[in-house]
Structure formats: C-alpha cells, structure tokens
Amino acid sequence: MARGCERWPGAPNLSQNLLTETAAFGAEARRALLLPTEQGHQVGATLHEPSVQSEIANPKSKILLLPGWSGPRTGPAELLVQLASRLAAVGHAVLRIDLHGRGDSSGRFKDGDLDRMIADASAGLEYLQSKIGNPKSKMVVGGVCSGGNVALGFASLRPADVSAVCALSTLPFQPARSKDFDRRRRWKNLKQYAAKAIKPETWKKLVHGEVNMDRVKKNIGATEQSAAGERNLKDSARDIEKELLAWKGRALFIWGGGDEEAPPARAHFEKLHAQGCAQEARFETIAGANHNFYGRAWREELTAKIEAFLAG
C-alpha cells in the first residue's frame, strides 16, 4: 500500500521536494522521510523495510547508510539504493540519508563539514531507534568513501549506540593523510581523465563548454590538505581516530582491488585496529573493483560480504 512522505515532528513541510508516494517493492517497502537535526536543519531520508510484518516489528538489525562527500543518499550509481534493497529483502531495516546541503537535506553545501555530517547521522539513528522495531535492536552504521569516515566518527561519538560499522572504500581521516595519498589520488584522477580524453564525446563537451576545467585542474594538481590558516571541512574538531580506540564494536572494511588508494588505506586501518579500535575487524578486498564498485559482479560480491558480516 502506498504511503505519503512522512514528516518527523519538528520538520517543516518540504514534501513537494520529495517523492510523495512510496510503496511495496517486492520483498521490501520504501518510505520517504524528513528528519530534524538538533541544529535546526532537516535531513532527507529513505527508509527500506522488509515486507514481512514480523520482520518490520523486529528487524534483524537497523542499518544507517551514508553517502560520500558530495553525492545524495542514492550513493554512486545507486550503490546505496541497491544495498538497502537487498538488505531489507532479507530482514533488515535500512535508512539512507542525505548529508547537510546535499539531496533533499536543508542547508548550504559549503557548510557541510565532517562534524555536521556526524550530527546528521544522529538524526538518522534517533529515528531508527525510536520508530523502528525494538529500541534495543542492533544498530549498524555504514558508508561509502567519506560516508565511512562519518560512520566511524559517529561510532567514536556514541560508542554505546553503534554495534557495528561497514566502511566501503574509506580512507584515513585527514590528519593521518600523507603526501603519498595525495600522489596516489592525483595519479588516479590523471588516468581517469586520460581515458576520457580519447573518447569523441569528451571533445564535443569540451568544444561546447560543458567540461568544468577548474575542477579538472583541481583534481589533477590540488591536495586535500588545507592551506595554512584555512579550515579543512573534512577534518573534525575531535581526534576521532584516538577516540575510536575506545570503541569496541565490530567493523567491516571493504575496498576495490583496482583502487590505487586502497592498499595504504587498508594498512592504516589494520594498524588502528591493532592499537585497539573495534573488538573485531574484517578487512576485505574485491579483486579488480574500482572505488565505487561499478561492476555488477563487484556489487554482488560486496553485498554478499556485507550480508555475511551482519550474520556473524
């Protein structure tokens, strides 16, 4: 049965900006939501629920999924939509949210820093804990790329509330980034642009002024490290990696084997786990996969690894 967009108390009526109807999708049902934050903003969200009534009342787990830095709650090429759908179909309740200034969430994009995104995650958790199933049910937070950093940052802030984290293609937090990471990122971007440069459609876009050359220059030559005196939006006011040493939940890290940034990222988080972060941690690599797991077979393997982790 179709249901209208639900306004969580405190959220203004912005439903005209959202899907106004949600319905059953085979083994799952979806619902569009607006959630308030303690800072007075609203977070756009989509809830995926199992279609079996007993599983709605008592899902296997409650999962909050977070997108990368710039994108909406669909994730790259709808990665998070696909994951949420598959997980809901096997009995989990999954909430995908837009981060500050992205998608259907209010606020300005340029004001969306790491700590504000962690606050957005709190709004998602409060909804899942108070409205879905048993308040004491297992809570899992997952994210892709920077969304994984938000998930880990949230676990460090509220360790008693987060039993597990799934971090996909996640890199170390900004203070731990080295010049090697900058070099690898520039090299990866350069190869991607070189591959695009041999395509005729790229030259057509260039001729018609449809290529953002400023962004190209930034991606090839810039660093994510902030200049002296400048604020780095991807850094936190807290020492998150230090605080993570006190979090004793379960963690799953997955990278693509074709992602040049994966090896040093994996080594970094393996070291952090050895120092005390997470009581249990699994480190997985999907052979050949790129940063966003674009291939169908890669996504099937990714989903299988996440399902196995959740069942453990």
The yes-or-no verdict on residue 128 having pLDDT over 50 is yes
Domain assignment present for 152: yes
**Average pLDDT of 131-144?**
89
Q: Report which of residues 247 and 6 the model is more confident about.
A: 247
The yes-or-no verdict on residue 274 having pLDDT over 80 is yes
Domain assignment present for 78: yes
The yes-or-no verdict on residue 247 having pLDDT over 70 is yes
Q: Which of 221, 250, 277 is the last residue of a domain?
A: 221
**Average pLDDT of 50-61?**
79
Whether residues 170 and 288 share a domain: the answer is yes
**Average pLDDT of 6-18?**
48
Whether residues 109 and 150 share a domain: the answer is yes
The yes-or-no verdict on residue 94 having pLDDT over 70 is yes
Q: Which of 160, 194, 221 is the last residue of a domain?
A: 221
Whether residues 157 and 270 share a domain: the answer is yes
| Contact call for residues 97 and 150 (beta carbons, < 8 A) | no
Structural domain total, the chain: 2
Whether residues 60 and 184 share a domain: the answer is no
Confidence category of residue 183, pLDDT binned at 50, 70, 90 = low
> CATH no. for residue 40?
3.40.50.1820
Q: The pTM is what?
A: 0.81
Mean residue pLDDT across the chain: 85
Which CA distances in Å does 221 have to 108, 259, 291? 26, 19, 20
Q: Report which of residues 13 and 116 the model is more confident about.
A: 116
Whether residues 106 and 189 share a domain: the answer is no
Domain assignment present for 228: no
Supply the range of the domain harboring residue 143.
Answer: 3-174+240-311
The yes-or-no verdict on residue 50 having pLDDT over 80 is yes
Report pLDDT digits (tens) over 32-45.
999 998 888 999 99
